[in-house]
Amino acid sequence: MADNHNSKSGPAKTEAQWQKELSPEAFAVCRQKGTERPYTGAYDQHFENGHYHCHCCGAELFSSQSKFDAGCGWPSFSAPTHGPAIKEEVDVSSGMRRTEVMCDDCGAHLGHVFPDGPPVTGLRYCINSVALDFKKA
């Protein structure tokens, strides 16, 4: 299956290129819309000051300032960083209606957003750790 997402930083990569560059788990999650097992990701209980970036293209996605412990087994954020860091699409693949969250730059699947987050936004961006890289502030 060809990757039709156009990267803002260059031409779109093929599935074969992504498969060569990513670990099997990162490929399954980021390019094939999989999900890592809950409570297994490196960033679930990670609370250092800094920014979370797309594992595939490096785009800044979330700040540690919006991270919170939702107790769901995946890193949770109340809002993305400034600007159009992410895009959303309706996802009905699991027999329920959810909102999928993807990197706006490269189209990587990140996770889903739910309307049960903390005050101000009321949103919980439930993100796979394997889709993220962290950079200290």
pLDDT, block means (10 residues), the chain with 137 residues: 46 90 97 96 96 96 96 96 87 86 96 94 97 96
50's tokens: 């800094």
The 3-state DSSP composition of the chain as helix, strand, coil percent (nearest 5) reads: 15, 30, 55
4 assigned to some structural domain: no
What is d(CA 98, CA 6) in angstroms, rounded to the nearest whole number? 24
28's tokens: 């399954």
88's tokens: 């959303």
112 assigned to some structural domain: yes
25 assigned to some structural domain: yes
Domain housing 46:
15-136
CATH number at residue 54: 2.170.150.20
Quick one: pLDDT at residue 12? 84
Decide: helix, strand or coil at residue 130. Answer: helix
What is d(CA 109, CA 86) in angstroms, rounded to the nearest whole number? 10
How many structural domains does the chain have? 1
Quick one: pLDDT at residue 91? 85
3 assigned to some structural domain: no
2 assigned to some structural domain: no
Residue 126 annotated to the active site: yes
Out of 57, 103, 106, 126, which one is annotated catalytic? 126
DSSP type of residue 4: -
- The reply to whether the predicted model has a pTM over 0.85 is yes
69 assigned to some structural domain: yes
What is d(CA 111, CA 7) in angstroms, rounded to the nearest whole number? 19
What is d(CA 8, CA 46) in angstroms, rounded to the nearest whole number? 29
